[in-house]
Structures are given as structure tokens and as C-alpha cells.
Amino acid sequence: MLQLTALLLVAQVQVPPPRGYVNDFAGVLDTASVAHMEAVIAEVRDKTRGEIAVVTLPDIGDRPASDVALQIGRQWGVGAKGEAGDPGKNLGIVVLLVPQKDHRPGTGQLFIATGRGAEGFLPDARVGRIRDAMTPYLARQEYGAGLAYGVDLIAQAFAQEFGVTLNAAPPPSPPPAQRDVSFPSGATLFWIIFAIVLLSRLARRVRSTTRGRVRAGHQDQPPAAAHGDPDGALEPVVP
């Protein structure tokens, strides 16, 4: 048992104590983005009791970002404690960013861990869309802007769930309008097919009638005309 505990402690990443809502241990965030996220997270906590922790770490070794984010949530106690049925219980979110190593694309990691109290309005699908929305910023190494945008989207999810208005987090921009590519109704599709079949049959009849007239014209010609003499006269035979 002691050996297993020692192995688990070794496997865990050493995470410093929290400094606040935004913990930039990797030193990659700009001051304006940090101030914005701090204000948004504070308002979410005041109005919904939800807690959001943003963490950047320079390296997590071979550990998956998902494991480290869960470790941070448990170690720091992100999310309020409460009795069963308390809507504010376990409303914790951990946003973990590991920036690119030596500016090499594909070497960074991002994970958003949700507490059980937030899983109802922040399911995996919605969290995935938030992560996708952050990815273009992070790929350009605009870490502050990317994390701030993600925090805004998470905060709006809290606001929608609890029916509150957040002043620090503006509503996210609506997605671009998509062209309507609706398919025709069943009745319309039937008449389209009917018209195609009718036109096809009429075309075959016209071609068949035309070929019949051409054959009849060839059979009515006299033998000489059929061989190219328009006057019907026979050419003399030269001895």
C-alpha cells in the first residue's frame, strides 16, 4: 500500500499553490487578458457560485492534460462543497493550458475539466465546441486571447443556466449564417421524377419516328437515284 501511494505521488505533476483565479505558471499570458479573466470569473462566482480556475504549466511530462486538470481540481478544491441537491455543489471548471514547446506546432495541450455540478449544462459536446473555438488563437500562440475567449464562453454557459446577466463577459458572437440547402418535399420530388420520365419517353418516340421516316425515304428512291444519279439515267459502258 505504501509503495502504491509513493508511485502515485511520483506520477503526479508538482503544481504550485493557486495564486488566484488565473495562474500563469508558464508565463505566457498578457496582463490585459489576465485582468479580463479575473473580472469574469469573479462575477461568475458572485452570481452563480461557480468557480473557474485557469492554469498554464510549462511542462507536464508524459502525463495527459486531462489527468493533470483533474489533479488540480481536486488538489485546489475547485468547486463549492454543499449538501445533496445544492445547485452550487461541485460547480468547478479547470482550464489547463500547456503551451507549445520551442514554438513547435502540435506540441501544446489544452483541457477543460468540469465538475459534476456543471456537467449538465457543460457536457462534453459543448466543451468540445468551446475548445475548438479557442484553438485558432492557441495555434498562433495568442494564449491570452484564446483563454480569455474560452472563459467568456464558459461564463455565458453559467449565465444561461442560472438566468443571470454578466457584465464582464460579453455574449459570444453568433456563428456565421449558413446557406439553406434544404431538399425538396416528397410531392415536389415526385413531380420532378414524373416530368423527367415523361420527357424521356417523348424523346424516344421522336427519335423512333424520325428513323422510320428516313428508312421510308430510302426505300422509295429509284435504283439509279439510290446509287447517286439524280436524273435516273444509266451511265454508258465504255468498251
Domain boundaries, the chain: 16-162, 184-215
C-alpha cell at 180: 439553406
- Rounded to 5 degrees, φ, ψ at 98 are -115, 110
C-alpha cell at 39: 473580472
HEC profile of 114-150: ECHHHCCCCCHHHHHHHHHHHHHHHHCCCHHHHHHHH
Instruction: Give the per-residue pLDDT at 201.
Output: 82
From the options 3.10.310.50, 2.60.120.10, 3.40.50.10860, 3.40.50.1370, give the CATH code of 16-162.
3.10.310.50
Q: Give the per-residue pLDDT at 8.
A: 42
What is the pLDDT, as a whole number, of residue 200? 82
Q: Are 61 and 13 in contact (CB under 8 A)?
A: yes
pLDDT at site 80: 77
Q: Which residues pair with 2 in a beta bridge?
A: none
Note the pLDDT of residue 189: 64
C-beta separation of 55 from 23 below 8 A: yes
Q: What's the confidence (pLDDT) of residue 217?
A: 57
Distances (CA, A) of 123 to 30, 93, 95, 110, 129: 29, 12, 15, 17, 10
User: According to the model, what pLDDT value does residue 203 have?
Assistant: 79
Spans in the chain with pLDDT lower than 70: 1-11, 171-189, 209-239
Locate 94 and state its grid cell.
Answer: 479547470
Pick the closest to residue 149 from 166, 170, 128, 163 (CA basis): 170
How much is the pLDDT for 236?
42
- Full-model pTM: 0.68
Predicted pLDDT of residue 107: 86
